[in-house]
Amino acid sequence: MTRSLSSALFYRDPRAALAWLAEAMGFELVMLLEDAEGNVAHSQMAFGDSRVMIGSEWSADHQSPASVGGRNTQAVHVNIDEDVDAHCERARRAGGVILVEPETQFYGARTYRCRDPEGHIWTVSQAVKQVSREEAEAITGLKITGWE
Domain presence at residue 66: no
Nearest to 4 by CA among 61, 54, 40, 46: 46
* Judgement on whether residues 48 and 113 belong to the same structural domain of the protein: no
User: Do 33 and 1 belong together in one domain?
Assistant: yes
Residue 68 lies in a domain: no
The whole-model pTM stands at 0.90
Domain that includes residue 148, residue range:
74-148
**CATH code at 147?**
3.30.720.110
**92: amino acid identity, one letter:** R
How high is the pLDDT of residue 19?
97
**Given this model, what pLDDT does residue 72 score?**
87
- Identify whether residues 81 and 128 lie together within a single domain: yes
Predicted local confidence at residue 117, as pLDDT: 96
In-domain check, residue 63: no
- Residues 25 and 83 placed together within one structural domain of the fold: no
Report d(CA 26, CA 61) in Å as an integer. Answer: 28
- pLDDT for the residue 31: 97
| CB-CB contact of 54 with 9 (8 Å) | yes
Residue 119 lies in a domain: yes
Least Cα distance to 123 among 141, 139, 134, 107 occurs for 107
What is the tally of structural domains in the chain? 2
Task: Tell me how far apart the alpha carbons of residues 131 and 121 are, in angstroms, rounded to a whole number.
Answer: 26
* pLDDT tens over the chain, length 148 residues: 778 888 999 999 999 999 999 999 999 999 999 999 999 989 999 999 999 999 998 888 888 989 988 888 888 999 999 999 999 999 999 999 999 999 999 999 999 999 999 999 999 999 999 999 999 999 999 999 987 7
